[in-house]
A and B are shown apart, each in its own frame.
Chain A
Amino acid sequence: MADTDKALQELDDLFAAARREPPAVPHHLNAAILADAARAQAGFPAAAPARAARQPLWRQLIEAIGGWPAIGGFAAASAAGLWIGMAPPSFVPDPLALAGYEDSSTALPDDSYDMAVMLSGDLQ
């Protein structure tokens, strides 16, 4: 037991001596490390100002069309378009007529009722 304690104490002394004499780094190694550092640094992107925080897609879209003022104009124009579509002023042509749809009261031929009666008689 005493021998073991003594051996461990001698080992601790040896560790302390080894700590006092750490292996010296050769100059050529430090030079190589610094050369590596310079090479690696040259490959880095230029000092990070371009690293703006990543923006969500909706914000990128808003900025692409001109920001919030543009969004306001866009909303006003959309609302006006909808209103004109639903209740066109008198001086604006009827959009339904322009699209080729006609009022049923004018679209039916005058003799359409007679034609229907004649056809139903044939069927009987």
Chain B
Amino acid sequence: MSATAEEVSDDALLVLYANGDGRAAAELTARLSPRVFGVAMRVMGIRAEAEDVTQEAMLRLWKMAPEWRPGEAQVFTWLYRVAMNLCIDRKRRARGGHVDLDAVPEPPDPARSAAEALQEGARLDALQAALMQLPERQRQAVVLRHLEELSNPEIAGIMDISVEAVESLTARGKRALAAALAGRREELGYSDG
């Protein structure tokens, strides 16, 4: 690679990887795995599951690289789409085993003291717990919109729904989150002032 890695697009890196460039894989992993892991972690709520989804999504990216057509789609959009589908598949399988992961949000860390609960970490735990109470598609839409900061058309492409449906999902999801967190305002250190 003659240009610095930052100047090379994901598209070009994927083509380089398909042509045998080993450094391209390292650069793509550094760019993409945090994004996929982040979104999988927010959607699955369980670290081990998020790791499996991330590894599987990246593996599919590697295998698909020789067939990738540069310019037709964005690599990260394709990857998010794969990751979201993997999350849905895993949730379905888990429900088949009579465990509804949606109904089992990660419990707040019991080791935290009341003082620590005021800290940002506790609020983030509360956000994650509230996210896990949302219906799956709402959670995906909210995570992609408000945590990954993707545009509504991008989310529509990833989730294979209309932009209007994305807007509806995110609006309902946000209202439900606000309602879920409202009951914990005091616990989370929000004052009424």
Contact = CB atoms under 8 A, between A and B. Distances in A.
B38 interface: yes
B152 interface: no
A26 interface: yes
Contacts of B34: 22, 24-25
B120 interface: yes
Interface residues of A, number: 33
Interface of B is mostly: helix
Contact of A19 (B26, B29, B147, B182): B147
Contact of A30 (B29, B147, B149, B182): B29
Given A23-B37, A47-B20, 7 more contacts: A7-B181, A11-B178, A19-B147, A23-B38, A25-B33, A33-B55, A34-B29
18 contacts: A7-B178, A11-B181, A18-B147, A23-B38, A23-B41, A23-B47, A25-B33, A25-B34, A29-B54, A29-B55, A33-B54, A33-B55, A34-B26, A37-B58, A40-B59, A40-B63, A41-B25, A44-B65
Interface of B: 17-20, 22, 25-26, 28-30, 33-34, 37-38, 41-42, 47, 50-51, 54-55, 58-59, 62-63, 65-66, 120, 123-124, 127, 146-147, 149, 174-175, 177-179, 181-182, 185, 190
